[in-house]
Structure 1
Amino acid sequence: MAWGQSSQAKYGSDFLSTGGGARALGMGGAHAALANDVTAAYWNVAGLADMQQPQIMYMHSERFSGIVGYDYGAAAMPLKNQDGVLAISFFRQGVDNIANTLNAWDRERDQPKGNVEDYITRFSAADMAVFVSYATQRNEQLSYGASAKIIHHKLGPFAQAWGYSLDVGAKYKTEIADFGVSVRDLTTMQKMWDVDQAEFGDYESQFDSLGATLPTGQNEYVLPSLKLGASRPFVISEDFLVTAAADVDVLFENRQAYYINLGRMSFEPHVGGEVSYKDVIALRAGLTDFITDPVSGFSVSPTLGVGLKLSSFVLDYGFASFAGASSDLGFTHRISLRFDIGRLR
């Protein structure tokens, strides 16, 4: 199907909004100008250029009382012969062990089949993505980079989609603050769906009786978006460092419900802060999800986090959605572990 026949997928890449690394969650997602490790491949790819040694990271997160699982893994390496850093990142969000009862119902007798468990199968609904990223420094102030993205949606045996896009980012450091900009889906993400109608069995007759047809594959596209950020460190003493950061996500999908908007543009602010002691222990707090609910009015979700650095290991924990209307959907917990390999340059 041609691009002109595609439909816009509002929230089409929201499964990636969890991001990478528990540090970012603890700071409310304000990370566009701050990320300077392997997680920068997601937040602002230009931040990879600040890395001085190879790193690997794994993160697990759960949402909606553990129903939705999210896993993230990444590795990044400075290149010896070039002034650049190469990274690869993997994301998976899924609901597993879903019961498929299509074959367990006897439609002629309008009741479950005998030995019904023999006819029930299990499947997963998963969204996955792979980023291949590269960043380099132009000079001491400016760095930039790009991430090639491939995404894959799989709804058990029924449907799947492949998509691709490109992110670009830049960071600029000044004496006052650091600034970052990330353009996500610069090329407009293209997603191609394919539906296996045979997996619906003889339910086609049921659709016909309702005047409907079985789902079919189609193409979708996701519009570009911007993430703008600023951060600044404050040296309190030889042992204490305070870092403040603020981001705003600018989207063009006409998200008028709940979000701050101006016409088709919507704005999602993120604010965060971190206090670190001797670069070993860090405490974090932030604000995210600034929304206006027609029922409960304006609300915002606070976040908390803690980090611990032990030799080459960095352990981070983030916690969100413990206040306001969002708590009705359960809490969000993230734990990430980063390993810093020996310095190469």
Structure 2
Amino acid sequence: MNRFLSALLLVGLFPLLSTAQSAQATYGNDFLSTGSGARALGMGSAQVALANDVTAAFWNVAGLAEVEKPQLMYMHSERFSGIVGYDYGAGVLPLKSGKGVVSLSFFRQGVDNIANTLNAWDRERDQPKGNAEDYITRFSAADMAIFFSYAKQRTDRLSIGASAKIIHHKLGPFAQAWGYSLDIGAKLRTDFANVGVTVHDITTMQKMWDVNESAFGDYEAQFDSLGATLPTGQNEYVLPSVKIGASKLFPIGEDFTVSAATDVDLLFENRRAYYLNVGRMSIEPHVGGEVSYKDLIAFRAGVTDFITDPVSGFMVSPTLGMGLKLSSFVLDYGFASFAGASSDLGFTHRISLRFDFNNDR
């Protein structure tokens, strides 16, 4: 146990000591804000005290402790009229004899098939080369993450968990970065409601960037002529963020169940992009609800992205969704960005499919 605590202490302290030579990143891990599962989108991303399946590894890892059978999930989402693709896959496995639950999750957000025209331009004649298409290559700009998660039921009411995560950013052949950190979470069931809290990047996410100068070809001379230099890698760090949530279930008769949830995200990056700020802290609320019938079909709605637009004033983005359970499969759909300021960037569609293994087989 002492060795484990010492190792955990080193993991936590090393990023903090490294920040002295790094720059703070704003929106450093914002690609992960899409989260996991289409159910979450339909409910305005209010999941911290509600998620109790494989998706809990992201929303609140402590919720994994409620999983009783192995599960697999895949999700695809498109944003900005299909320009940005987002894929998520995960699996969860309860251990024997109440030893806890383990999970592995993968996230990828990317823009693919980007044209690299650096070598297609004749800089001496200041015009495209005659056979420019032969010099154009394609690359992807992608953000990826892997979560290794573990959760355990501490008491009948309290569950806790942690996720070790690795981040990888890749900008084609030009630059890439690696980062790592730790998330923790807790979930408490009370007689009135469930409450949950999760801290992302509690150890502070440290990212190490590397730029491949040779990928810019002879453009170094162009930079020199402008009195500039080629981009160089710079380490950066991402501050911890906190999610706090509450949820409550309301059974209606024997067939219907209403679920209500609300979350508050607390970020300390001095974003000043949302309607409520306290010093360097920005506050992002999420509210959602769900009506399910016999755990077979569900309809969802929520609100998120509470912002004050300089032109339109105060605005929110509503979300909608539905879910359908067919034997061991659960199919969820979420739809957002059809109103509010974010609607100008196109609709967001999200589909996820979960498979539940039957332990009795």
- Give distance in 1, aligned partners of 2:341 and 2:233: 35
1:70 to 79, 86, 90: 86
Is contact 1:249–1:267 with CA below 8 Å preserved after alignment? yes
2:226 alignment partner in structure 1:
210
What are the Cα deviations for residues 124-170 of structure 1, in whole angstroms up to 9, with x where unaligned?
A: 00000000000000111000000000000000000000000000000
Letter in 2 for 1:162: W
The yes-or-no answer on 1:340 pairing with 2:360 is no
- Structure 1 residue 50 corresponds to structure 2 residue 66: yes
Pick which of 115-124 and 254-263 moved more: 254-263
Output the CA distance in 2 between the equivalents of 1:258 and 1:265. Answer: 10
Of 265, 280, 285, 2:296 maps to 280
Secondary structure in 2 aligned to 1:17? helix
Partner of 2:161 in structure 1? 145
Among candidates 310, 315, 318, match of residue 294 of structure 1: 310
Partner of 1:27 in structure 2?
Answer: 43
Secondary structure of the residue that 2:119 maps to in structure 1? coil
* Mapped partners of 2:324, 2:47: distance in 1: 19
Which structure 2 residues correspond to residues 246-285 of structure 1 after superposition, within 5 A?
A: 246-285=262-301
Query: Which residue matches 2:6?
Result: none
TM-score with structure 2 length normalisation?
Answer: 0.94
Question: CA offset at residue 257 of structure 1?
Answer: 3.0
Q: What one-letter code is carried by the residue in structure 2 that aligns with 1:182?
A: T
1:13 paired to 2:29? yes
Equivalent pair of 2:18/2:206 in contact (CA under 8 Å): no
Alignment match, 1:79: 95
What per-residue deviation string (whole Å, max 9, x for no partner) do you get for residues 260-315 of structure 1? 21110000000000000010000000000001111221110000000000110000
Name the structure 1 match of 2:347.
Answer: 331
Q: Does 1:126 align with 2:131?
A: no
Distance 2:338 2:253 in 1: 32
Give the match's secondary structure for 2:113: strand
User: Which stretch shows the higher mean deviation, 46-55 or 323-332?
Assistant: 323-332
What is the Cα deviation at residue 2 of structure 1? 4.7
- Considering fraction of residues, name the structure with more helix: 2
Question: CA separation in 2, counterparts of 1:100 and 1:5?
Answer: 32
- The alpha-carbon deviation at position 321 of structure 1 amounts to 0.7
One-letter identity of the residue aligned with 2:95: L
Cα distance per residue 1:94-139 (max 9 Å; x no partner):
0000000000000001110011110000000000000000000011
Determine which of 151, 160, 169 is the counterpart of 2:176.
160
* Corresponding residue to 1:311 among 321, 327, 333: 327
SS of corresponding position for 1:208? helix
How far apart are the structure 1 equivalents of 2:63 and 2:19? 33
Q: Distance in 2 between matches of 1:236 and 1:9?
A: 47
Amino acid at match of 2:356: D
Distance 1:287 1:256, change over 3 A: same
Matched letter for residue 334 of structure 2:
G
Q: Higher mean Cα deviation, 254-263 or 164-173?
A: 254-263
| Distance across 2 between alignment mates of 1:237 and 1:195 | 61
Shift of residue 76, structure 1, vs aligned partner: 0.2
- The answer to whether the Cα contact below 8 Å between 1:281 and 1:309 also exists between their aligned partners in 2 is yes
Alpha carbon RMSD of aligned pairs, Å? 1.2
For 1:229 and 1:139, the matched residues in 2 are separated by: 20
Matched, 1:243 2:265: no
Q: Structure 2: how far apart are the matches of 1:51 and 1:113? A: 59
In structure 1, what residue type is equivalent to 2:110? G
Question: Distance between the aligned counterparts of 2:18 and 2:44, measured in 1?
Answer: 39
Provide the C-alpha distance between the structure 1 equivalents of 2:24 and 2:77, rounded to a whole number of angstroms.
28
Identity of aligned pairs, percent? 79
* Cα distance per residue 1:52-81 (max 9 Å; x no partner): 100000000000000000000000000014
Pick the aligned partner of 2:151 from 135, 143, 146. 135
Give unpaired runs (5+ residues) of structure 1.
none
Match of 1:196 in 2: 212
- Which letter maps to 2:202? L
Structure 2 gap segments, 5+ residues each: 1-16
**SS of equivalent residue, structure 2 residue 342:** helix
The residue matched to 1:328 in structure 2 has which SS?
Answer: helix
Match of 2:112 in 1: 96
Structure 1 distance, partners of 2:306, 2:322, is 23
- The 1:176–1:126 alpha-carbon spacing in structure 2 relative to 1, beyond 3 Å, is same
The question of 1:183 aligning with 2:206 is answered: no
How many Å apart are 1:258 and its aligned residue?
Answer: 3.6
SS where residue 103 of structure 1 aligns? helix
SS at 2:218 equivalent:
helix
Give the distance between the partners of 2:273 and 2:58, measured in 1 at CA: 26
> Matched residues in 2 for 1:257 and 1:26: separation?
23
